[in-house]
Structure 1
Amino acid sequence: MTAPPSPRFSYKSDRLKPLRAFCQVVRLGSVSRAAEALFVSQPAISLQLQALEREYGAHLFERSGRRLSPTREGQLLFEMAQPLVEGVDGLAASFKDKVSGLDAGELNVAANSSTILYLLPRIVDAFRRAHPDVRLTLHNAISADGTDLLREDAVDLAVGSMLDVPADLSYEPVYRFEPMLITPHDHPLASKSRVTLEDISPYGLILPPRRQITYRLVDLTFQQARVPYTVALEVGGWEVIKQYVAMGMGLSIVSSICLGDADRGRLAARSLSAYFPSRSYGVVVRKGKYLSPQARAFIALIRPDLFHPRDHDQPGHSER
């Protein structure tokens, strides 16, 4: 035997109204006062209370002198309904507070050590001054590891350089820097106005590890030109590479981003833009990922005018 259909009431099109009226009557002890507080008529409040009593099958009020007081069932409903009514009524204000509070929170950015050392300091400084309440964490990771962190949602975005962009990621290059050959000042190539790959071939190169983009670019360029080359040493970190080159342990091919005023006294640099493409740096995000306000604010600071090429020994230019 099927159960009879439950009665339908027109007020159900807006369940909040009768519950709001009920809670006001409980609080104020009067239909007339509740009607005044809600800017509706007394009959409208009475009809909503009657509909609630029919739906729940219980008397919700009893008269105590001139005041309406909730019955046990009414008190139970009040305890259940009041948080709902207050939550909905305060939703707009609460939402605005939450939105304004989104500037706080956390931001996780992946970048390799060179990007953290040379490119990000001004950006991080500007972000920290504009958003002092955000906890910013820079995750030191090479490009391959950075993309893994993006896919795992361990970071909000990555900043760095990419050659091959996977289909699930989006890469927007912002800066470009010139490829440079660095040598000690007393090296035979230091005084040449134009250096060729054949000139470099007899000398050992100091390069970053094979997984990194610089090594891949050097290998690809020499292979395509069919010019032999040798790697004297693999070592991570451009500061270490520059130090080893200055000590005469080999030559290196670096991006102009890492060459500053302090390097002029110990290194000679020659452009290799005729053989190597300029190196782009930019923002990497996972496609379809929601970017928090703090992430969008950080990305907005990654712009060419915040990085000044004149700080560097050689003219690495930045362009949009």
Structure 2
Amino acid sequence: MEWQQIIGFYHVANLRSFTKAAGATFRTQSALTQQIKALEEELDCPLFERIGKRKLLLTPQGERFLAFSQAVLAQYDGLLEELNELKGLQKGRLKLAAPFTTLYHLLSDTLADFIKQFPHVELSLFDRSQHNVIDLVKNGEIDFGIALESMVPQDLQKIRWKKVEPVLLIPQGHPLGRVKRVSMRRIAQYPLILPPKSSEYTGRRRLEELFQKYNLNYRMIMESSNVELSSLYVEKGLGISFATIVTDLPLFKSRKLEYIPLHHYFEPEYISVLIRKDKVFTSFKSGFLNILLGKSDIMKFSPPD
């Protein structure tokens, strides 16, 4: 088994495409195909199931080999970082994934400080949905993920970062802005901008349950998976919307928006940093967490046992 075979298989398995994987590994498709074929012959089992001309699925053996290849590549990256650390070099790679709104509003200052403090570390950022963030952390493809605490599975380590509160977004001057304690009955009287009906957006399910509980009909004028998009159309007067936000953000200072707390219907949430429990920490990865969490001592954060 050769190193390039493991890398080639990893990319084919993740991209579900020989063509895309060939581009990612800077090899020809025929060379990559021959690599995988030789690997399957050595292991004496098929790793992929080819359905038609376009669909590529992992076999059970392929799923197991993917887990192996992920672990090997993660250990290799960790080894390089540890060797650099032993040489006194703050050099390596830090990979972080978070939803768009978190990247846009919450991380820019942290990342700027990190780059200044660790200029030789290669930083890679990924704009992903919360479910995708969790999958990337689980698979060892990124170092840190950021998502709502309630979504984090038990097999991942989570560190609380920021409190977020459920609110109703309304345009400035909206009639609901004069109501001290807004009810679902009043909310249902206006066009609503809602998250999609999907297991990924648990807020929509909770809203549906409340409308059913109070036997209310409502009119949805728009589905939006992005709070930035929703807030834009709220500001334009298209409808009102729901969000979980860090309430001290400057989002509303420069916008014609107001928010109404909904803590009488929903519990506060927390944004957390997600980490694999077996994660090996170099000093610059601990340093990133210390900057993010507002620690003054760069080595104050220590990884979980």
Matched length: 212
- Partners of 1:194 and 1:221 in 2: CA distance: 16
Q: Is the 8 A contact 2:84 2:90 kept in 1?
A: no
TM superposition shift of 1:257: 2.5
The letter of the residue matching 1:115 is T
Q: Secondary structure at the match of 1:117?
A: helix
Q: Secondary structure at the match of 1:178?
A: strand
TM superposition shift of 1:264: 5.5
Q: Secondary structure at the match of 2:124?
A: strand
Aligned to 2:261: 271
Deviations 1:25-45 (A, max 9, x none): xxxxxxxxxxxxxxxxxxxxx
Q: Structure 1 residue 236 and structure 2 residue 225: aligned?
A: yes
TM-score by length of 2: 0.61
Show structure 2 runs of 5+ residues with no match.
1-81, 297-305
Aligned to 2:240: 251
- Partners of 1:227 and 1:102 in 2: CA distance: 62
Aligned to 1:128: 115
Q: Is the 8 A contact 1:163 1:213 kept in 2?
A: no
The letter of the residue matching 1:204 is P
- Partners of 2:212 and 2:251 in 1: CA distance: 33
TM superposition shift of 1:155: 0.4
Which of 137, 146, 155 in structure 1 is aligned with 2:133?
Answer: 146
Q: Structure 1 residue 287 and structure 2 residue 277: aligned?
A: yes
- Partners of 2:255 and 2:244 in 1: CA distance: 18
- Partners of 1:226 and 1:301 in 2: CA distance: 47
Show structure 1 runs of 5+ residues with no match.
1-94, 307-320
Aligned to 1:62: none
TM superposition shift of 1:110: 1.0
TM superposition shift of 1:162: 3.1
- Partners of 1:274 and 1:289 in 2: CA distance: 39
- Partners of 1:263 and 1:203 in 2: CA distance: 24
Aligned to 1:187: 174
Aligned to 1:26: none
Q: Secondary structure at the match of 1:281?
A: strand
Q: Is the 8 A contact 1:118 1:257 kept in 2?
A: no
The letter of the residue matching 1:294 is F
Q: Secondary structure at the match of 2:93?
A: strand
Q: Is the 8 A contact 1:205 1:252 kept in 2?
A: yes
Which of 89, 92, 95 in structure 2 is aligned with 1:108?
Answer: 95
- Partners of 2:96 and 2:270 in 1: CA distance: 18
The letter of the residue matching 1:260 is P
Q: Is the 8 A contact 1:143 1:212 kept in 2?
A: no
Deviations 1:136-189 (A, max 9, x none): 111111111111111221101101213233232122222102222111223221
Alignment of 1:30-69 (within 5 A): none
Q: Which structure has the bigger radius of gyration?
A: 1
Aligned to 1:260: 250
Deviations 1:69-94 (A, max 9, x none): xxxxxxxxxxxxxxxxxxxxxxxxxx
TM superposition shift of 1:98: 3.9
TM superposition shift of 1:96: 8.2
Structure 1 residues 263 and 110, CA, compared in 2 at 3 Å: closer, same or farther? same
- Partners of 1:97 and 1:138 in 2: CA distance: 22
Structure 1 residues 121 and 224, CA, compared in 2 at 3 Å: closer, same or farther? farther
TM superposition shift of 1:97: 6.2
- Partners of 1:105 and 1:273 in 2: CA distance: 43
Aligned to 1:201: 188
TM-score by length of 1: 0.59
Identity %: 27
Structure 1 residues 110 and 191, CA, compared in 2 at 3 Å: closer, same or farther? same
